[in-house]
Structure 1
Amino acid sequence: MSDEPQAAIRRLAPLIERQAARYGLYTPIEGLMVSRFFSPSEPIATVQRPVYSVIVQGMKEAMLGDRLIRYRAGESLIAGVDLPVTSRIVEATSQTPYLSVSFELDHATVLELLGEHPTEHSPGQPVVPFEISEFDTRLADPLARLLELLDHPNDIPVLMPLIRREIIWRLLQGPFAPVLRQLAWPDGNVARIARATNWIRDNFAKPLRVAELADFVSMSAPSLHRHFKTITTVSPLQFQKQVRLHMARRRLLASEGIGLVAYDVGYESLSQFNRDYRKLYGLSPSQDVIRVRQDLQAPQPQVAR
Protein backbone atom coordinates (compact mmCIF):
# COMPACT_ATOMS: atom_id res chain seq x y z
CA MET A 1 0.00 0.00 0.00
CA SER A 2 1.46 3.37 -1.03
CA ASP A 3 1.81 6.43 1.21
CA GLU A 4 -1.41 8.09 0.01
CA PRO A 5 -3.76 5.16 0.85
CA GLN A 6 -1.91 4.68 4.16
CA ALA A 7 -2.58 8.30 5.14
CA ALA A 8 -6.26 7.95 4.19
CA ILE A 9 -6.57 4.74 6.20
CA ARG A 10 -4.93 6.34 9.24
CA ARG A 11 -7.55 9.08 9.13
CA LEU A 12 -10.40 6.55 9.29
CA ALA A 13 -8.97 4.30 12.01
CA PRO A 14 -9.67 6.47 15.11
CA LEU A 15 -13.15 7.34 13.83
CA ILE A 16 -14.03 3.66 13.45
CA GLU A 17 -12.58 2.83 16.87
CA ARG A 18 -14.62 5.55 18.56
CA GLN A 19 -17.91 4.70 16.90
CA ALA A 20 -17.44 0.93 17.30
CA ALA A 21 -16.81 1.43 21.02
CA ARG A 22 -20.00 3.49 21.21
CA TYR A 23 -22.38 1.46 19.03
CA GLY A 24 -20.93 -1.97 18.25
CA LEU A 25 -21.68 -3.24 14.73
CA TYR A 26 -24.79 -1.26 13.82
CA THR A 27 -24.81 2.53 14.00
CA PRO A 28 -27.79 4.93 14.08
CA ILE A 29 -27.13 5.76 10.43
CA GLU A 30 -29.11 3.21 8.45
CA GLY A 31 -26.79 0.99 6.45
CA LEU A 32 -23.57 2.18 8.14
CA MET A 33 -21.68 -0.52 10.04
CA VAL A 34 -18.38 -0.42 11.88
CA SER A 35 -16.42 -3.50 12.95
CA ARG A 36 -13.76 -3.85 15.62
CA PHE A 37 -12.43 -7.29 16.62
CA PHE A 38 -9.60 -7.90 19.10
CA SER A 39 -8.86 -11.48 18.02
CA PRO A 40 -9.48 -13.76 15.04
CA SER A 41 -13.10 -14.89 14.85
CA GLU A 42 -14.89 -18.10 14.07
CA PRO A 43 -16.59 -18.26 10.64
CA ILE A 44 -19.72 -16.09 10.65
CA ALA A 45 -22.51 -16.79 8.16
CA THR A 46 -24.49 -13.78 7.02
CA VAL A 47 -26.51 -12.46 4.11
CA GLN A 48 -24.46 -9.60 2.71
CA ARG A 49 -26.52 -6.65 1.54
CA PRO A 50 -25.34 -4.72 -1.52
CA VAL A 51 -22.44 -3.03 0.24
CA TYR A 52 -19.19 -1.14 -0.04
CA SER A 53 -16.66 -2.10 2.64
CA VAL A 54 -13.14 -0.93 3.53
CA ILE A 55 -10.67 -2.73 5.78
CA VAL A 56 -8.61 -0.23 7.73
CA GLN A 57 -6.69 -2.67 9.94
CA GLY A 58 -6.24 -6.45 9.95
CA MET A 59 -7.38 -9.06 7.44
CA LYS A 60 -10.58 -10.95 6.64
CA GLU A 61 -11.54 -13.84 4.41
CA ALA A 62 -14.92 -14.77 3.00
CA MET A 63 -16.41 -17.78 1.24
CA LEU A 64 -18.92 -17.13 -1.53
CA GLY A 65 -19.96 -20.56 -2.71
CA ASP A 66 -16.64 -22.29 -3.40
CA ARG A 67 -14.75 -19.01 -3.95
CA LEU A 68 -12.36 -17.92 -1.19
CA ILE A 69 -11.84 -14.17 -1.04
CA ARG A 70 -9.16 -12.66 1.19
CA TYR A 71 -8.69 -8.93 1.69
CA ARG A 72 -6.67 -6.84 4.07
CA ALA A 73 -5.96 -3.30 5.28
CA GLY A 74 -5.93 -0.87 2.38
CA GLU A 75 -8.34 -2.92 0.28
CA SER A 76 -12.05 -2.46 -0.33
CA LEU A 77 -14.86 -4.74 -1.40
CA ILE A 78 -18.14 -4.30 -3.19
CA ALA A 79 -21.17 -6.59 -3.45
CA GLY A 80 -23.72 -5.47 -6.02
CA VAL A 81 -26.51 -7.84 -4.93
CA ASP A 82 -27.57 -9.62 -1.73
CA LEU A 83 -25.21 -12.55 -1.20
CA PRO A 84 -24.94 -15.31 1.42
CA VAL A 85 -21.36 -15.15 2.67
CA THR A 86 -19.42 -16.97 5.38
CA SER A 87 -16.56 -14.81 6.62
CA ARG A 88 -14.03 -14.70 9.42
CA ILE A 89 -11.47 -12.28 10.82
CA VAL A 90 -7.99 -13.76 10.38
CA GLU A 91 -5.76 -10.93 11.67
CA ALA A 92 -6.63 -9.02 14.86
CA THR A 93 -4.97 -8.45 18.24
CA SER A 94 -5.74 -6.41 21.34
CA GLN A 95 -2.99 -3.95 20.33
CA THR A 96 -3.95 -3.87 16.63
CA PRO A 97 -7.64 -4.70 16.33
CA TYR A 98 -9.36 -5.50 13.08
CA LEU A 99 -11.16 -2.35 11.89
CA SER A 100 -13.52 -1.88 8.97
CA VAL A 101 -16.36 0.35 7.83
CA SER A 102 -19.20 -0.81 5.57
CA PHE A 103 -21.93 1.15 3.85
CA GLU A 104 -24.99 -0.43 2.25
CA LEU A 105 -25.60 0.63 -1.34
CA ASP A 106 -28.91 2.04 -2.47
CA HIS A 107 -29.88 0.71 -5.91
CA ALA A 108 -32.24 3.62 -6.56
CA THR A 109 -29.39 6.10 -6.10
CA VAL A 110 -27.12 4.03 -8.36
CA LEU A 111 -29.72 4.08 -11.14
CA GLU A 112 -30.42 7.79 -10.68
CA LEU A 113 -26.75 8.74 -10.90
CA LEU A 114 -26.20 6.65 -13.99
CA GLY A 115 -28.74 8.88 -15.75
CA GLU A 116 -29.90 8.44 -19.31
CA HIS A 117 -26.90 6.32 -20.34
CA PRO A 118 -27.03 3.83 -17.50
CA THR A 119 -24.78 1.01 -18.57
CA GLU A 120 -22.16 -0.23 -20.95
CA HIS A 121 -22.89 -3.79 -19.90
CA SER A 122 -23.83 -6.26 -22.62
CA PRO A 123 -25.26 -9.77 -22.42
CA GLY A 124 -21.87 -11.21 -23.34
CA GLN A 125 -20.08 -9.79 -20.29
CA PRO A 126 -19.55 -12.12 -17.31
CA VAL A 127 -21.60 -11.67 -14.14
CA VAL A 128 -19.43 -10.23 -11.36
CA PRO A 129 -21.52 -9.64 -8.22
CA PHE A 130 -18.57 -9.37 -5.81
CA GLU A 131 -15.18 -7.70 -6.28
CA ILE A 132 -12.11 -6.41 -4.42
CA SER A 133 -9.82 -3.48 -5.22
CA GLU A 134 -7.26 -1.22 -3.57
CA PHE A 135 -8.91 1.53 -1.53
CA ASP A 136 -9.79 4.59 -3.62
CA THR A 137 -8.47 7.51 -1.57
CA ARG A 138 -11.15 9.83 -3.02
CA LEU A 139 -13.59 7.99 -0.74
CA ALA A 140 -11.66 8.76 2.45
CA ASP A 141 -13.20 12.19 2.90
CA PRO A 142 -16.89 11.25 2.48
CA LEU A 143 -16.42 8.13 4.66
CA ALA A 144 -14.78 10.23 7.38
CA ARG A 145 -17.61 12.78 7.22
CA LEU A 146 -20.15 9.96 7.45
CA LEU A 147 -18.48 8.59 10.59
CA GLU A 148 -18.19 12.07 12.10
CA LEU A 149 -21.89 12.61 11.40
CA LEU A 150 -22.66 10.11 14.17
CA ASP A 151 -21.47 12.77 16.63
CA HIS A 152 -24.17 15.15 15.35
CA PRO A 153 -27.43 13.15 15.21
CA ASN A 154 -29.57 16.18 14.34
CA ASP A 155 -27.62 16.56 11.09
CA ILE A 156 -28.07 12.95 9.95
CA PRO A 157 -31.45 13.29 8.14
CA VAL A 158 -30.18 16.23 6.06
CA LEU A 159 -26.53 15.39 5.40
CA MET A 160 -26.52 11.58 5.20
CA PRO A 161 -28.37 11.41 1.84
CA LEU A 162 -25.90 13.90 0.34
CA ILE A 163 -22.87 11.94 1.54
CA ARG A 164 -24.44 8.68 0.34
CA ARG A 165 -24.83 10.14 -3.17
CA GLU A 166 -21.23 11.32 -3.11
CA ILE A 167 -19.96 7.86 -2.12
CA ILE A 168 -21.97 6.11 -4.83
CA TRP A 169 -20.89 8.68 -7.42
CA ARG A 170 -17.23 8.04 -6.57
CA LEU A 171 -17.79 4.29 -6.83
CA LEU A 172 -19.29 4.77 -10.29
CA GLN A 173 -16.12 6.58 -11.38
CA GLY A 174 -13.71 3.96 -10.06
CA PRO A 175 -12.76 0.29 -10.45
CA PHE A 176 -16.08 -0.96 -9.05
CA ALA A 177 -18.16 0.71 -11.77
CA PRO A 178 -18.65 -2.51 -13.82
CA VAL A 179 -20.21 -4.29 -10.81
CA LEU A 180 -22.68 -1.46 -10.24
CA ARG A 181 -23.45 -0.86 -13.93
CA GLN A 182 -24.79 -4.41 -14.27
CA LEU A 183 -27.70 -3.30 -12.07
CA ALA A 184 -28.74 -0.66 -14.59
CA TRP A 185 -29.32 -3.13 -17.41
CA PRO A 186 -32.99 -3.83 -16.54
CA ASP A 187 -33.33 -6.95 -18.68
CA GLY A 188 -30.04 -8.41 -17.44
CA ASN A 189 -29.88 -11.34 -15.09
CA VAL A 190 -28.04 -9.43 -12.35
CA ALA A 191 -30.69 -6.71 -12.19
CA ARG A 192 -33.52 -9.25 -12.19
CA ILE A 193 -31.93 -11.37 -9.47
CA ALA A 194 -31.26 -8.20 -7.48
CA ARG A 195 -35.00 -7.43 -7.65
CA ALA A 196 -35.73 -10.99 -6.54
CA THR A 197 -33.38 -10.84 -3.54
CA ASN A 198 -34.80 -7.44 -2.59
CA TRP A 199 -38.32 -8.89 -2.65
CA ILE A 200 -37.29 -11.81 -0.46
CA ARG A 201 -35.61 -9.44 2.00
CA ASP A 202 -38.70 -7.25 2.21
CA ASN A 203 -41.03 -10.25 2.62
CA PHE A 204 -38.81 -12.80 4.34
CA ALA A 205 -41.41 -13.85 6.92
CA LYS A 206 -43.99 -14.70 4.25
CA PRO A 207 -44.27 -18.07 2.42
CA LEU A 208 -42.15 -18.02 -0.74
CA ARG A 209 -43.70 -19.23 -3.99
CA VAL A 210 -40.98 -19.41 -6.62
CA ALA A 211 -43.42 -19.20 -9.55
CA GLU A 212 -44.85 -15.93 -8.23
CA LEU A 213 -41.36 -14.55 -7.62
CA ALA A 214 -40.41 -15.49 -11.19
CA ASP A 215 -43.44 -13.60 -12.53
CA PHE A 216 -42.46 -10.60 -10.43
CA VAL A 217 -39.05 -10.37 -12.11
CA SER A 218 -40.30 -11.42 -15.59
CA MET A 219 -38.49 -14.75 -15.72
CA SER A 220 -39.61 -18.36 -16.01
CA ALA A 221 -39.34 -20.37 -12.79
CA PRO A 222 -36.51 -22.61 -14.14
CA SER A 223 -34.60 -19.56 -15.42
CA LEU A 224 -35.01 -17.76 -12.09
CA HIS A 225 -33.77 -20.78 -10.17
CA ARG A 226 -30.76 -21.27 -12.47
CA HIS A 227 -29.62 -17.64 -12.54
CA PHE A 228 -30.40 -17.12 -8.85
CA LYS A 229 -28.07 -19.96 -7.94
CA THR A 230 -25.39 -18.84 -10.41
CA ILE A 231 -25.28 -15.33 -8.95
CA THR A 232 -25.96 -15.93 -5.24
CA THR A 233 -24.69 -19.57 -5.03
CA VAL A 234 -27.95 -20.72 -3.34
CA SER A 235 -31.56 -21.36 -4.35
CA PRO A 236 -34.33 -18.83 -3.62
CA LEU A 237 -35.66 -20.97 -0.74
CA GLN A 238 -32.18 -21.40 0.76
CA PHE A 239 -31.67 -17.66 0.43
CA GLN A 240 -34.94 -16.95 2.24
CA LYS A 241 -33.93 -19.28 5.09
CA GLN A 242 -30.59 -17.52 5.50
CA VAL A 243 -32.27 -14.10 5.45
CA ARG A 244 -34.68 -15.23 8.16
CA LEU A 245 -31.87 -16.51 10.34
CA HIS A 246 -29.75 -13.41 9.73
CA MET A 247 -32.62 -11.13 10.74
CA ALA A 248 -33.28 -13.31 13.78
CA ARG A 249 -29.63 -13.02 14.80
CA ARG A 250 -29.70 -9.23 14.62
CA ARG A 251 -32.79 -9.14 16.83
CA LEU A 252 -31.32 -11.61 19.31
CA LEU A 253 -28.21 -9.44 19.60
CA ALA A 254 -30.59 -6.62 20.56
CA SER A 255 -31.74 -8.83 23.48
CA GLU A 256 -35.12 -9.89 22.10
CA GLY A 257 -36.56 -13.24 23.18
CA ILE A 258 -35.79 -16.36 21.14
CA GLY A 259 -39.38 -17.62 20.88
CA LEU A 260 -40.80 -14.26 19.79
CA VAL A 261 -38.04 -13.74 17.23
CA ALA A 262 -38.43 -17.22 15.74
CA TYR A 263 -42.13 -16.76 15.04
CA ASP A 264 -41.73 -13.18 13.82
CA VAL A 265 -39.20 -14.18 11.15
CA GLY A 266 -41.53 -16.84 9.77
CA TYR A 267 -40.90 -20.05 11.72
CA GLU A 268 -43.90 -22.00 12.97
CA SER A 269 -41.76 -24.39 15.03
CA LEU A 270 -39.25 -23.23 17.65
CA SER A 271 -37.43 -26.57 17.47
CA GLN A 272 -37.00 -26.18 13.69
CA PHE A 273 -35.72 -22.64 14.19
CA ASN A 274 -33.16 -23.89 16.71
CA ARG A 275 -32.02 -26.69 14.34
CA ASP A 276 -31.64 -24.34 11.36
CA TYR A 277 -29.88 -21.73 13.48
CA ARG A 278 -27.36 -24.24 14.82
CA LYS A 279 -26.76 -25.63 11.31
CA LEU A 280 -25.95 -22.17 9.93
CA TYR A 281 -24.09 -20.63 12.87
CA GLY A 282 -22.68 -23.71 14.60
CA LEU A 283 -24.23 -22.88 17.99
CA SER A 284 -27.65 -22.56 19.56
CA PRO A 285 -29.17 -19.05 19.40
CA SER A 286 -28.29 -18.25 23.04
CA GLN A 287 -24.73 -19.61 22.73
CA ASP A 288 -24.12 -17.75 19.48
CA VAL A 289 -25.26 -14.40 20.90
CA ILE A 290 -22.86 -14.82 23.84
CA ARG A 291 -19.98 -15.64 21.46
CA VAL A 292 -20.59 -12.65 19.18
CA ARG A 293 -20.82 -10.26 22.11
CA GLN A 294 -17.54 -11.61 23.50
CA ASP A 295 -15.83 -11.22 20.12
CA LEU A 296 -16.86 -7.56 19.94
CA GLN A 297 -16.04 -6.67 23.52
CA ALA A 298 -12.82 -4.73 24.14
CA PRO A 299 -10.25 -6.55 26.31
CA GLN A 300 -10.33 -5.27 29.87
CA PRO A 301 -7.18 -3.52 31.11
CA GLN A 302 -5.30 -5.27 33.89
CA VAL A 303 -5.82 -2.76 36.67
CA ALA A 304 -5.82 -3.51 40.39
CA ARG A 305 -9.23 -2.90 41.94
Structure 2
Amino acid sequence: MSLRPTLESRKAVPTMEGAGVRLHRAFGFQDPSELDPFLLFDDFRNDNPQDYMAGFPWHPHRGIETITYVLSGSVEHSDSLGNSGTLGAGDVQWMTAGSGILHQEMPKGSTGGQMHGFQLWGNLPSGQKMSAPRYQDVQSADIPEVTDDDGTTVRVIVGTFWGRTGPVDGIAADPQYLDISIPAGVKKTFSIDTYRRAFAYIFAGEAAFADASRPIGVLLEKEVAGQEVNIRDMSGDRTLIRFGTGDEITVQAGPEGVRFLLISGAPIDEPVAWHGPIVMNTQAELQQAFRELRNGTFIRPAH
Protein backbone atom coordinates (compact mmCIF):
# COMPACT_ATOMS: atom_id res chain seq x y z
CA MET A 1 0.00 0.00 0.00
CA SER A 2 1.21 3.53 -0.75
CA LEU A 3 0.28 6.60 1.26
CA ARG A 4 -1.10 9.52 -0.74
CA PRO A 5 0.96 12.67 -0.16
CA THR A 6 -0.79 15.86 0.92
CA LEU A 7 -0.26 18.23 -2.00
CA GLU A 8 -2.03 21.19 -0.48
CA SER A 9 -4.08 22.32 2.49
CA ARG A 10 -6.08 25.53 2.11
CA LYS A 11 -9.01 27.33 3.67
CA ALA A 12 -12.27 27.83 1.80
CA VAL A 13 -12.72 31.46 0.72
CA PRO A 14 -15.80 33.58 1.52
CA THR A 15 -17.76 34.53 -1.59
CA MET A 16 -21.28 35.39 -2.71
CA GLU A 17 -23.40 33.56 -5.27
CA GLY A 18 -26.96 33.43 -6.55
CA ALA A 19 -29.08 36.40 -5.48
CA GLY A 20 -26.84 37.14 -2.50
CA VAL A 21 -26.02 33.87 -0.73
CA ARG A 22 -22.93 34.12 1.45
CA LEU A 23 -20.90 30.92 1.29
CA HIS A 24 -17.33 29.57 1.36
CA ARG A 25 -15.72 28.20 -1.81
CA ALA A 26 -13.07 25.50 -1.39
CA PHE A 27 -12.24 25.45 -5.11
CA GLY A 28 -13.73 26.50 -8.42
CA PHE A 29 -13.16 28.71 -11.47
CA GLN A 30 -9.42 28.03 -11.33
CA ASP A 31 -7.40 25.24 -12.94
CA PRO A 32 -10.02 22.58 -13.87
CA SER A 33 -7.35 19.88 -14.16
CA GLU A 34 -6.38 20.25 -10.49
CA LEU A 35 -9.17 18.04 -9.15
CA ASP A 36 -10.53 16.63 -12.43
CA PRO A 37 -13.32 15.39 -12.67
CA PHE A 38 -14.50 17.89 -10.03
CA LEU A 39 -14.84 21.55 -10.91
CA LEU A 40 -16.19 23.41 -7.90
CA PHE A 41 -17.03 22.86 -4.24
CA ASP A 42 -19.08 25.26 -2.09
CA ASP A 43 -19.91 25.14 1.62
CA PHE A 44 -23.12 27.13 2.21
CA ARG A 45 -23.44 27.48 5.96
CA ASN A 46 -25.07 30.32 7.85
CA ASP A 47 -27.14 31.04 10.95
CA ASN A 48 -28.49 34.33 9.56
CA PRO A 49 -31.42 33.84 7.15
CA GLN A 50 -30.66 37.18 5.50
CA ASP A 51 -27.42 35.66 4.21
CA TYR A 52 -29.08 32.79 2.32
CA MET A 53 -32.84 33.33 1.88
CA ALA A 54 -32.48 35.05 -1.53
CA GLY A 55 -31.19 31.70 -2.77
CA PHE A 56 -30.23 30.70 -6.28
CA PRO A 57 -33.04 31.84 -8.64
CA TRP A 58 -33.53 30.42 -12.12
CA HIS A 59 -30.22 29.71 -13.88
CA PRO A 60 -28.96 27.30 -16.56
CA HIS A 61 -26.57 24.34 -16.47
CA ARG A 62 -25.13 22.28 -19.29
CA GLY A 63 -22.31 19.74 -19.48
CA ILE A 64 -21.97 19.08 -15.73
CA GLU A 65 -23.47 17.34 -12.72
CA THR A 66 -24.37 19.20 -9.52
CA ILE A 67 -24.36 17.31 -6.23
CA THR A 68 -26.19 18.95 -3.30
CA TYR A 69 -25.85 17.50 0.21
CA VAL A 70 -27.90 19.14 2.97
CA LEU A 71 -26.87 18.86 6.64
CA SER A 72 -29.37 21.24 8.27
CA GLY A 73 -32.27 23.29 7.02
CA SER A 74 -33.71 22.45 3.62
CA VAL A 75 -33.46 23.39 -0.06
CA GLU A 76 -36.54 23.76 -2.25
CA HIS A 77 -35.84 23.11 -5.92
CA SER A 78 -37.72 23.26 -9.20
CA ASP A 79 -36.71 23.09 -12.87
CA SER A 80 -37.70 23.63 -16.47
CA LEU A 81 -38.70 19.98 -16.87
CA GLY A 82 -41.45 20.33 -14.27
CA ASN A 83 -39.61 18.64 -11.40
CA SER A 84 -39.87 20.10 -7.91
CA GLY A 85 -39.19 19.00 -4.37
CA THR A 86 -37.46 19.70 -1.09
CA LEU A 87 -34.14 18.39 0.21
CA GLY A 88 -34.09 18.03 3.99
CA ALA A 89 -31.34 17.39 6.51
CA GLY A 90 -29.17 14.46 5.40
CA ASP A 91 -30.70 14.33 1.89
CA VAL A 92 -28.74 14.35 -1.36
CA GLN A 93 -29.61 15.43 -4.90
CA TRP A 94 -27.41 14.37 -7.80
CA MET A 95 -28.49 16.34 -10.89
CA THR A 96 -27.03 15.47 -14.28
CA ALA A 97 -27.62 18.63 -16.32
CA GLY A 98 -26.51 16.99 -19.58
CA SER A 99 -27.77 18.90 -22.63
CA GLY A 100 -29.30 21.61 -20.52
CA ILE A 101 -31.65 22.50 -17.72
CA LEU A 102 -32.94 25.65 -16.05
CA HIS A 103 -33.50 25.33 -12.32
CA GLN A 104 -33.65 27.19 -9.05
CA GLU A 105 -32.54 26.24 -5.53
CA MET A 106 -33.95 28.14 -2.56
CA PRO A 107 -32.46 27.41 0.90
CA LYS A 108 -34.74 27.44 3.95
CA GLY A 109 -33.30 27.40 7.46
CA SER A 110 -34.10 25.02 10.28
CA THR A 111 -36.36 26.06 13.17
CA GLY A 112 -33.44 27.95 14.68
CA GLY A 113 -32.55 29.58 11.36
CA GLN A 114 -29.51 27.40 10.62
CA MET A 115 -28.69 26.40 7.06
CA HIS A 116 -25.81 24.12 6.09
CA GLY A 117 -25.10 22.20 2.94
CA PHE A 118 -22.55 21.54 0.24
CA GLN A 119 -22.61 21.70 -3.53
CA LEU A 120 -20.08 19.89 -5.69
CA TRP A 121 -19.83 20.22 -9.47
CA GLY A 122 -18.66 17.20 -11.44
CA ASN A 123 -17.63 17.44 -15.08
CA LEU A 124 -19.16 15.24 -17.78
CA PRO A 125 -17.08 13.58 -20.51
CA SER A 126 -17.65 14.83 -24.06
CA GLY A 127 -19.81 11.82 -24.95
CA GLN A 128 -22.29 12.62 -22.16
CA LYS A 129 -22.39 16.42 -22.20
CA MET A 130 -25.48 16.44 -24.41
CA SER A 131 -27.24 13.51 -22.71
CA ALA A 132 -30.77 13.85 -21.34
CA PRO A 133 -30.97 15.59 -17.94
CA ARG A 134 -31.44 13.26 -14.99
CA TYR A 135 -32.21 13.64 -11.29
CA GLN A 136 -31.45 11.35 -8.40
CA ASP A 137 -33.06 12.57 -5.17
CA VAL A 138 -32.00 10.48 -2.17
CA GLN A 139 -33.51 10.71 1.29
CA SER A 140 -31.27 10.57 4.33
CA ALA A 141 -32.77 7.28 5.53
CA ASP A 142 -31.68 5.58 2.30
CA ILE A 143 -27.99 6.48 2.70
CA PRO A 144 -26.12 3.57 4.34
CA GLU A 145 -24.11 4.33 7.45
CA VAL A 146 -21.51 2.00 8.91
CA THR A 147 -19.64 2.29 12.23
CA ASP A 148 -16.30 0.65 12.94
CA ASP A 149 -15.17 -0.79 16.28
CA ASP A 150 -13.25 2.40 17.17
CA GLY A 151 -16.35 4.57 16.72
CA THR A 152 -15.53 5.84 13.23
CA THR A 153 -18.74 6.35 11.25
CA VAL A 154 -19.03 6.62 7.47
CA ARG A 155 -22.10 7.65 5.46
CA VAL A 156 -21.70 6.14 1.98
CA ILE A 157 -23.40 8.58 -0.39
CA VAL A 158 -21.84 7.33 -3.62
CA GLY A 159 -19.63 4.32 -4.35
CA THR A 160 -18.85 1.23 -2.31
CA PHE A 161 -17.03 1.41 1.03
CA TRP A 162 -16.62 -1.07 3.89
CA GLY A 163 -19.03 -3.41 2.12
CA ARG A 164 -21.83 -0.88 1.75
CA THR A 165 -22.89 0.79 -1.52
CA GLY A 166 -24.41 4.25 -1.74
CA PRO A 167 -27.78 4.79 -3.45
CA VAL A 168 -26.59 7.16 -6.22
CA ASP A 169 -25.52 5.28 -9.35
CA GLY A 170 -24.69 5.63 -13.05
CA ILE A 171 -22.31 8.57 -12.56
CA ALA A 172 -19.72 9.21 -15.27
CA ALA A 173 -16.72 9.83 -13.03
CA ASP A 174 -17.26 6.65 -10.97
CA PRO A 175 -17.02 8.80 -7.84
CA GLN A 176 -16.85 7.93 -4.17
CA TYR A 177 -18.49 10.45 -1.82
CA LEU A 178 -18.14 9.71 1.90
CA ASP A 179 -19.15 11.64 5.02
CA ILE A 180 -16.72 10.49 7.73
CA SER A 181 -16.74 11.11 11.50
CA ILE A 182 -13.73 10.01 13.59
CA PRO A 183 -13.75 10.19 17.42
CA ALA A 184 -11.16 12.18 19.38
CA GLY A 185 -7.64 10.83 19.21
CA VAL A 186 -8.38 7.99 16.79
CA LYS A 187 -5.93 7.37 13.95
CA LYS A 188 -7.57 5.84 10.89
CA THR A 189 -6.48 4.67 7.44
CA PHE A 190 -8.83 4.67 4.43
CA SER A 191 -8.26 3.05 1.06
CA ILE A 192 -8.82 4.99 -2.17
CA ASP A 193 -8.42 3.46 -5.62
CA THR A 194 -5.13 4.66 -7.10
CA TYR A 195 -6.69 5.87 -10.36
CA ARG A 196 -8.93 8.41 -8.58
CA ARG A 197 -8.19 12.04 -7.84
CA ALA A 198 -9.09 12.73 -4.23
CA PHE A 199 -9.68 15.50 -1.74
CA ALA A 200 -10.96 15.88 1.82
CA TYR A 201 -12.98 18.76 3.23
CA ILE A 202 -13.08 19.24 7.00
CA PHE A 203 -16.24 20.88 8.36
CA ALA A 204 -16.13 20.04 12.08
CA GLY A 205 -13.28 19.47 14.52
CA GLU A 206 -9.72 19.08 13.32
CA ALA A 207 -7.31 16.43 12.10
CA ALA A 208 -3.82 15.80 10.75
CA PHE A 209 -3.37 13.93 7.48
CA ALA A 210 -0.18 11.86 7.29
CA ASP A 211 2.33 12.48 4.53
CA ALA A 212 4.92 9.92 3.41
CA SER A 213 7.69 12.46 3.99
CA ARG A 214 6.31 13.60 7.35
CA PRO A 215 4.42 10.85 9.17
CA ILE A 216 2.05 11.76 11.97
CA GLY A 217 3.81 11.80 15.32
CA VAL A 218 7.37 12.48 14.13
CA LEU A 219 7.36 15.87 15.86
CA LEU A 220 5.57 15.27 19.12
CA GLU A 221 3.96 18.39 20.55
CA LYS A 222 0.90 16.98 22.22
CA GLU A 223 -0.78 13.71 23.00
CA VAL A 224 -4.39 13.27 21.98
CA ALA A 225 -6.05 10.34 23.72
CA GLY A 226 -2.65 8.70 23.99
CA GLN A 227 -1.80 9.12 20.30
CA GLU A 228 1.23 11.08 19.17
CA VAL A 229 0.31 13.94 16.90
CA ASN A 230 2.09 16.97 15.53
CA ILE A 231 -0.47 19.68 16.28
CA ARG A 232 1.19 22.06 13.83
CA ASP A 233 -0.12 19.72 11.11
CA MET A 234 -3.71 19.94 12.35
CA SER A 235 -6.28 21.31 9.92
CA GLY A 236 -9.62 22.64 11.11
CA ASP A 237 -13.04 23.77 9.95
CA ARG A 238 -13.53 24.70 6.28
CA THR A 239 -10.18 23.27 5.17
CA LEU A 240 -9.61 21.53 1.83
CA ILE A 241 -6.86 18.88 1.65
CA ARG A 242 -5.79 17.84 -1.83
CA PHE A 243 -4.03 14.49 -2.17
CA GLY A 244 -1.47 13.17 -4.64
CA THR A 245 -1.25 9.64 -6.05
CA GLY A 246 -1.47 6.56 -3.84
CA ASP A 247 -4.00 4.07 -2.56
CA GLU A 248 -4.62 5.15 1.04
CA ILE A 249 -4.75 8.11 3.39
CA THR A 250 -4.15 8.17 7.15
CA VAL A 251 -6.00 10.60 9.41
CA GLN A 252 -5.32 11.48 13.03
CA ALA A 253 -8.38 13.03 14.68
CA GLY A 254 -7.86 15.99 17.00
CA PRO A 255 -8.91 16.41 20.65
CA GLU A 256 -12.58 16.96 19.70
CA GLY A 257 -12.70 14.47 16.84
CA VAL A 258 -13.21 15.39 13.21
CA ARG A 259 -15.90 15.22 10.54
CA PHE A 260 -15.00 15.56 6.90
CA LEU A 261 -16.03 14.65 3.38
CA LEU A 262 -13.72 12.32 1.45
CA ILE A 263 -14.43 12.60 -2.27
CA SER A 264 -12.67 10.93 -5.19
CA GLY A 265 -13.33 10.30 -8.87
CA ALA A 266 -11.76 9.13 -12.11
CA PRO A 267 -10.20 12.01 -14.08
CA ILE A 268 -11.75 12.73 -17.47
CA ASP A 269 -8.59 14.28 -18.99
CA GLU A 270 -10.39 16.30 -21.67
CA PRO A 271 -10.20 19.97 -22.68
CA VAL A 272 -12.46 22.26 -20.66
CA ALA A 273 -14.27 25.35 -21.99
CA TRP A 274 -16.02 26.91 -18.99
CA HIS A 275 -18.08 30.02 -18.43
CA GLY A 276 -20.31 30.34 -15.37
CA PRO A 277 -22.74 27.41 -15.06
CA ILE A 278 -21.90 25.88 -18.46
CA VAL A 279 -18.91 23.60 -19.06
CA MET A 280 -18.12 22.23 -22.52
CA ASN A 281 -15.01 20.98 -24.35
CA THR A 282 -14.52 23.79 -26.88
CA GLN A 283 -15.16 27.53 -27.12
CA ALA A 284 -17.42 26.87 -30.12
CA GLU A 285 -19.64 24.58 -28.00
CA LEU A 286 -19.69 27.16 -25.24
CA GLN A 287 -20.71 29.93 -27.64
CA GLN A 288 -23.43 27.70 -29.08
CA ALA A 289 -24.85 27.10 -25.60
CA PHE A 290 -25.12 30.82 -24.90
CA ARG A 291 -26.65 31.46 -28.33
CA GLU A 292 -29.29 28.86 -27.52
CA LEU A 293 -29.94 30.52 -24.18
CA ARG A 294 -30.54 33.82 -25.96
CA ASN A 295 -32.81 32.40 -28.68
CA GLY A 296 -34.83 30.07 -26.45
CA THR A 297 -33.59 26.70 -27.79
CA PHE A 298 -31.36 25.79 -24.83
CA ILE A 299 -33.76 23.19 -23.39
CA ARG A 300 -33.93 20.14 -25.66
CA PRO A 301 -37.29 18.32 -26.01
CA ALA A 302 -37.44 14.96 -24.23
CA HIS A 303 -36.98 11.97 -26.53
Q: TM-score, normalised by structure 2?
A: 0.39
Q: TM-score, normalised by structure 1?
A: 0.38
In terms of fraction of residues, the more strand-rich structure is 2
